[in-house]
Amino acid sequence: MKALQVLCLAAAASVAFASAASAATVTPAGGSFTATGTTQLIKNGVKLNCNAVFTGTVDASGTFATVTSATFSGDPLGFCALVTSTVPWTITAPSTTSVTVANVAVTTPIGNCGPTNLTAGWANGSPSVLTFVNQPLSGSCSVSGKLNVPGLTLVP
């Protein structure tokens, strides 16, 4: 019985270490970033298309990045300029091709959305590109977007 317990503990530990080992690192560690692109928020069938600018920092170890500001603009009626965000949002990279953005929340002229964790695709490049499609947010919302993130990469 003792051998079975040790075997179970060893198996659980190997799964935990394998998960940690597969996480990606955000580079440059200790750096800052600006992401720009387009977003679309849908709440109860109403669409709000905006240009977005997100700025933030990468922690010293590259374990995570933090979005510290989010601004929106671009629609002809000026509704995007009224969108406010509840930052900071923490970004982690479970792999080199995806990121998780934690606690995304916005207040808009069409209602409040979030907080919710979003999953987004990531492609390293010049610039790197973050893409999210119809990601659900609490408050009967969904969000899509494509953001260029020059100078930021994910490495194994």
Q: Is 80 exposed, middle or buried (0-12, 13-18, 19+ CB in 10 A)?
A: buried
For residue 6, is it within any domain? no
The per-residue pLDDT for 15 is 34
User: How much is the pLDDT for 11?
Assistant: 34
Is residue 56 in a domain? Answer: yes
Q: For residue range 36-59, list pLDDT tens digits in order.
A: 999 999 999 999 999 999 999 999
Q: Which domain holds residue 61?
A: 23-155
Which parts of the chain fold into alpha helices (H)? 2-22
- Asked whether residue 125 is domain-assigned, the answer is yes
Q: What is the CATH number of the domain that holds 148?
A: 2.40.160
pLDDT at 20: 43
Structurally, how many domains does the chain consist of? 1
Contact partners, residue 136, CB within 8 Å, separation at least 6: 116, 142
For the chain, percent of residues with pLDDT exceeding 70: 86
What confidence category does residue 74 fall into, taking pLDDT thresholds of 50, 70 and 90? very high
Domain presence at residue 117? yes
3 state DSSP class of 91: strand
Res. 88: pLDDT tops 80: yes
Classify residue 17: in a domain, yes or no. no
Higher pLDDT among residues 5 and 96, named by residue: 96
Q: What does the pLDDT read at residue 14?
A: 33
Q: Assess contact for 123 and 99: CB atoms under 8 A.
A: no
Q: Which residue has the tokens 């993130």?
A: 149
Amino acid letter for position 38: T
User: In this structure, is residue 5 part of a structural domain?
Assistant: no
For residue 130, the surrounding DSSP H or E stretch is: strand 128-137
Render pLDDT for 1-37 as a digit per residue (tens, 0 to 9): 343 333 233 333 333 333 345 699 999 999 999 999 9
Look at residue 12 and tell me if it is in a domain. Answer: no
The whole-model pTM stands at: 0.85
Which position has the token pair 């919710």? 116
- Look at residue 43 and tell me if it is in a domain: yes
* Dist. CA 154–CA 112, nearest whole Å: 31
